[in-house]
Structure 1
Amino acid sequence: MSCDCFSDQQFLSVEQAIFHILENIQTVEDTELVPLDSALDRILATEVISPIQVPPHDNSAMDGYAVNFASLTNNKTVSLVGKSMAGAPFVGECLLGQCVRIMTGAVVPEGCDTVVMQEHCQVEGDTISFLQEIRQGQNIRRAGEDISQNQIILSKGKRLSAIDIALLASVGIESLSVYRKIKVALIATGDELKSPGQSLTAGDIYESNGHFLKHMLAKINADVLDYGIIADDFEQIKQAFHHADQHADVVISSGGVSVGDADYTKMVLDSIGKIGFWKISMKPGKPLAFGLLPNSVFFGLPGNPVSAAVTFYQIAMHGLAKIAGATPIERTRFIAKTQTDLKKAPGRTDFQRGYYNVNQAGEISVVSTGVQGSGVLSSIGRANCFIVLAKDQGSVSAGESVVIEPFDALLGGS
Structure 2
Amino acid sequence: MAQLSDDCFAFGGDLMPVDAALDALRGRLHAVTEAGTVPLAQSLGRILAEDVVAPFDVPPHANSAVDGYAVFFDDLTPGAETVLPVTARVAAGQTLGRPGVRGEAVRIFTGAPMPAGFDTVLMQEDCRAEGEPGRGGAVTIPSGIKRGSNRREAGEDVTAGAVILASGRRLRPEDIGLAASVGRRELAVRRPLRAAVFSTGDEVREPGAPLPQGCIYDANRFSLMAALAQLGCAVTDLGILPDRRDAIRDALAEAAASHDVLVTSGGVSTGEEDHVKAAVEAQGSLHFWRLAIKPGRPVALGQVRGTAFIGLPGNPVAVMITFLRVARPLLLRLMGAEEKAPPLFPVRAGFAYKKKPGRREYVRAQLARGEDGVLTALKHPRDGAGILSSMVESDGLVELPEDLTRLEPGAVVDFLPFSEVR
Q: Shorter-chain-normalised TM-score: which range?
A: over 0.9
Residue of 99, 104, 110 corresponding to 1:104:
110
CA distance in 2, matches of 1:347, 1:167: 44
Cα distance, 1:387 vs structure 2:
1.5
Residue of 373, 378, 384 corresponding to 1:373:
384
**Equivalent AA in structure 2 for residue 76 of structure 1:** T
Cα distance, 1:409 vs structure 2:
5.2
CA distance in 2, matches of 1:45, 1:372: 41
1:71 aligns with 2:75: yes
CA distance in 2, matches of 1:244, 1:216: 19
Does the 8 A contact of 2:51 with 2:167 survive in 1? yes
Residue of 50, 54, 58 corresponding to 2:58:
54
Q: 1:258 to 1:391 in 2, by over 3 A?
A: farther
Which runs of 5 or more residues in structure 1 are unaligned? none
CA distance in 2, matches of 1:309, 1:197: 22
Q: How does 1:132-211 map to 2 (within 5 A)?
A: 132-211=143-222
Matched residue pairs, number?
410
Residue of 220, 229, 236 corresponding to 1:225:
236
CA distance in 1, matches of 2:293, 2:108: 63
**Equivalent AA in structure 1 for residue 126 of structure 2:** H
Cα distance, 1:287 vs structure 2:
1.7
Q: How does 1:4-403 map to 2 (within 5 A)?
A: 5-7=10-12, 9-72=13-76, 76-125=82-131, 126-359=137-370, 361=372, 363-403=374-414
Q: 1:403 to 1:127 in 2, by over 3 A?
A: closer
Cα distance, 1:49 vs structure 2:
0.3
Q: 1:200 to 1:87 in 2, by over 3 A?
A: same
**Equivalent AA in structure 2 for residue 183 of structure 1:** R
1:407 aligns with 2:418: yes
Q: Deviation digits for residues 41-79 of structure 1, max 9, x if unmatched? A: 111101100112111111111111111223235982211
Which stretch has the larger CA shift, 35-44 or 383-392?
Answer: 383-392
**Equivalent AA in structure 2 for residue 309 of structure 1:** M
Which runs of 5 or more residues in structure 2 are unaligned? 132-136
Q: 1:156 to 1:361 in 2, by over 3 A?
A: farther
Does the 8 A contact of 1:22 with 1:318 survive in 2? no
Identity of aligned residues (%): 36
**Equivalent AA in structure 2 for residue 83 of structure 1:** R
Does the 8 A contact of 1:120 with 1:132 survive in 2? no
**Equivalent AA in structure 1 for residue 94 of structure 2:** A
Cα distance, 1:18 vs structure 2:
1.6
**Equivalent AA in structure 1 for residue 363 of structure 2:** Q
Does the 8 A contact of 2:342 with 2:421 survive in 1? no
Cα distance, 1:268 vs structure 2:
1.8
Q: 1:105 to 1:372 in 2, by over 3 A?
A: same
Which stretch has the larger CA shift, 81-90 or 391-400?
Answer: 391-400
SS in 1 for 2:239: strand
Does the 8 A contact of 1:258 with 1:302 survive in 2? no
**Equivalent AA in structure 2 for residue 111 of structure 1:** G
CA distance in 1, matches of 2:168, 2:15: 31
Q: Deviation digits for residues 16-47 of structure 1, max 9, x if unmatched? A: 22223333322025110011100101111011
Q: Deviation digits for residues 334-389 of structure 1, max 9, x if unmatched? A: 33332223343335321121112345755231111122111100111111111212
Q: 1:62 to 1:351 in 2, by over 3 A?
A: same
Cα distance, 1:327 vs structure 2:
0.9
Does the 8 A contact of 1:2 with 1:24 survive in 2? no
